[in-house]
Chain A
Amino acid sequence: MRRADPSVTTSGDLEGAECPYCGSENTVRDHPKGPSLCRSMHYCNDCEQPFERFE
């Protein structure tokens, strides 16, 4: 039997990642995975910028 692909599981928080641009923690996670397995996609509600979080 083939195991589940580990790339579809993730850890980390859905919100509250620190925005690298303005420092705000008023952020939400758009997607658990980014362009590589170690990054997730977030959005900053304050400065309205998308950013990635290193997981």
Chain B
Amino acid sequence: MSNAYDTDIPDSVDPVDDDCVEPAGEACVYTEYVEGEAYDDVPATGEGAEGVERDVWDTLYGIEDPEMPVSIVDLGLIYGVSVDADDGETVATVDMTLTYSGCPARDMLQDQMREAVEAVDGVDRADLRLVWSPEWNLELVTEQGKQDLREFGLSI
């Protein structure tokens, strides 16, 4: 059977016995949020960011949700961005979430983000960290995001 939907579990998540008899190769119907470090000030919008950090934010604003024409920043998926030097490299760390933990577009979106952020001048490496606290909800969508979603035909 194809392994296209192989379930990779992030390092930050403790695998939970979910009663799936044969998880490999079969879609598992059960996903669970895992509590982690809580972020107080979400969504992050990059307000006040400068320099390379500003450029990373601008790049993120240019990336749309795979399903809807709304920036992932306006959708409220980004919880934080920091740019630091690490062993001679400049690393952009992006803390992000997804609308739900079993999001099928996870790899697609992260690959796209990694490529875009690493293309920013002054960034050598992108480190994308998936976090689930607080859980994403509709209140994290910015006013601009709500407007974009309404134009797309979504009631919000």
Residues of A at under 8 Å CB distance from B? Answer: 1-7, 17-21, 27, 35-39, 42, 49, 51-54
Chain A, residue nearest B156 (CB) = A54
Closest 9 pairs between A and B when the two form their complex, measured CB to CB: A53-B155, A20-B150, A5-B29, A17-B155, A54-B156, A51-B153, A20-B155, A52-B154, A18-B155
Distance in Å: Cβ of A32 to nearest Cβ of chain B: 14
A1 neighbours in B (Cβ, 8 Å): 19
> A43 vs B154: C-alpha distance in the bound complex, in angstroms?
11
Chain B, residue nearest A1 (CB) = B19
Which of B20, B100, B154 contacts A51, CB < 8 Å?
B154
The contact size tier of chain B is: 10 to 19
* B111 proximal to A (CB < 8 A): no
Which of B20, B30, B151, B154 contacts A54, CB < 8 Å?
B154
A19 neighbours in B (Cβ, 8 Å): 155
Does B29 contact A6, Cβ atoms closer than 8 Å?
Answer: yes
Which of A5, A27, A37, A53 contacts B156, CB < 8 Å?
A53
> A49 vs B67: C-alpha distance in the bound complex, in angstroms?
20
Distance in Å: Cβ of B47 to nearest Cβ of chain A: 24
Distance in Å: Cβ of B77 to nearest Cβ of chain A: 13
Does A6 contact B154, Cβ atoms closer than 8 Å?
Answer: no
